[in-house]
Amino acid sequence: MEIGKENFPNTLKAIQNGIDQELHTCAQVYISQYEEALADFAMGEYLPEKACSINTYMPWMSCSKMVTAISFALLVERGSVDWHTNVAEVIPEFGCNGKEDITFHNILTHTCGLRILSLKYETLTWAETISQISAMPVEKNWTIGIDAGYHVATSWFILGEAVQRLSAQSLNNFITTEIFQPLEMEHCSLAMPIDQYLSTEKEIAKFYRTDTNPIRFAVDHYETSKNICKPGSSGRGPMRELAKFMEMLGAKGTYKNRRILSERTIEEMIKPQRIDTQDKTFMCKIDWGLAFMLDSKHHQESYPYSFGPGCSEDTFGHNGNQSSAAYVDLEHELTVCFGFNGLPGEKAHQIRLHETNEAIYKDLDIL
C-alpha cells in the first residue's frame, strides 16, 4: 500500500515534470526518518498502460556497487581478507602490468587506475571478463592510491571475483544468502534470471533512452549476454527494498534488532578514506569512504551525482547512472531511495536529480 504522497507535493511535482518532459515514464520513491516510513509510492507507467507500483522491479545501476562492497565487508569481518590486502593475493593473475601493489582499499576508493571501458561485457563470460581485466595495465600517468577517478565497471568485477574465490560461492548466491535474505529483500537480485526478466507476469521496469526522439528502449543485451551478473550495475528490485539495505547501514549494521554487520565495519566504510582529491572521471573533488560517496558540498556547491543542497555533511550513499539514488543522512536520521526508468543524458539527469533531492528536503521542511 502506498503511503505519503500527500505529504510530498514538491517531490510529486518534480517527478511529474520529468514525465511531462519525457525524461522518464515512471519513478519510485521511498523515504524514512527516525525508522518510520514517510513515503513509499510510485508514479507513471513502466510500460504503456502498465502503471508502476511500489513493487515494480527497478534497475539500480551503480547503486549495486554498495551491495557488492558490503559482501566483501562481510568477508573482512570473518577474517578471510583485509581492506589493505593486495588483490593479487586473492587473484594471482591480476598481479601484472603495474597492478602488483593494488589493494582492495584502492578498488573501494576508486584509486587503482583501471577505468578502461573498452570491454564489450555482453560478449564475454564472467571468466573471460576477469581474465581480460587482469591483463590490463594501469592507466598512464596514474599513481596508485594517490590519483582518483570513478571506476564504472572494471574494478568491481575484480571485487566480485574476490568474493567468489574467498566464499567459494557465486557472487549472486553469496549476496542473496548473506544480504538480501536477512534483510527480507525478497524481490532483489544481482543476476535476475532471464525468464523472470522477460516475464509478462512480473512488473519489470526496463530503461528507456529518453535522449532520443522518439524515445525507445535502451539496448541491454539481456537475452544474449554471456554473463548477466555485473557487480557494479546489475542489481534490480523495488526501491523500497533497496531502502532496507540503506536503513541497515544507517542503523550501523542492524535490521529489526538483528546484527548484519558490525558497527565498527560500517563506521570504517563511511568515514572519509579519500579526501580533498580531484576525481578524474567527474572532474571535481569528491570525498569517498570505502565504496560510498560522501557529501562533498564543502568542496563545491554543486557536483555530479550529489545528494542535493539540503543534505547534511554526514550523508553517504551512491547513485546509479542517470537513474537512481540511495543515501543515508545521519544527522537527520533520514533514508532516501528513488529511481527513474529514463536515461535522458547526463545534463538532463543532473538537473532532474538536483530538483528531486531539493524537493524532498523542502517537503521535509529541512531546506
pLDDT-based confidence at residue 114 (cuts at 50, 70, 90) = very high
Give pLDDT, residue 118: 82
Of 143, 161, 147, 140, nearest to 88 by C-alpha is 161
Is residue 338 predicted with pLDDT exceeding 80? yes
Beta bridge partners of 27: 43, 340
Q: What is the pLDDT of residues 9-29, one digit of tens each?
A: 999 999 999 999 999 999 999
The b-or-e profile of 165-196 (16+ CB within 10 A means b, else e) is: ebbebbbbebbbebbbeebebebbbbbbeeee
**pLDDT value of position 289:** 98
Q: Where are the chain's structural domains? A: 5-58+193-225+236-363
What is the mean predicted confidence (pLDDT) over 253-272? 97
Helices (H), 213-324: 239-250, 263-270
Write down the pLDDT at residue 305.
Answer: 98
Specify whether the CB–CB gap between 145 and 113 falls below 8 A. Answer: no
Pairing relation of β-strands 208-209 and 342-343?
parallel
| Range 5-58+193-225+236-363: architecture per CATH | 3-Layer(aba) Sandwich (3.40)
Q: What pLDDT was estimated at residue 116?
A: 83
Q: Are 345 and 322 in contact (CB under 8 A)?
A: yes
- Residue 222 class from Cβ within 10 Å (0-12 exposed, 13-18 middle, 19+ buried)? middle
Cα separation, 244 vs 184, whole angstroms? 8
Query: Can you tell me whether residue 333 is helix, strand or coil?
Result: coil
- Give start and end residues of each alpha helix (H) in 190-308: 194-197, 239-250, 263-270
Q: According to the model, what pLDDT value does residue 35 have?
A: 87
Q: Read off the pLDDT of each residue in 322-339 and give the average, rounded to a whole number.
A: 98
Q: Percent of the chain having pLDDT more than 90? A: 96
Residue type present at position 235: G
pLDDT tens, 159-176? 999 999 999 999 999 999
High-pLDDT (> 70) share of the chain, %: 100
Ramachandran region of residue 324, left (φ > 0), alpha (ψ -120 to 50) or beta? Answer: beta
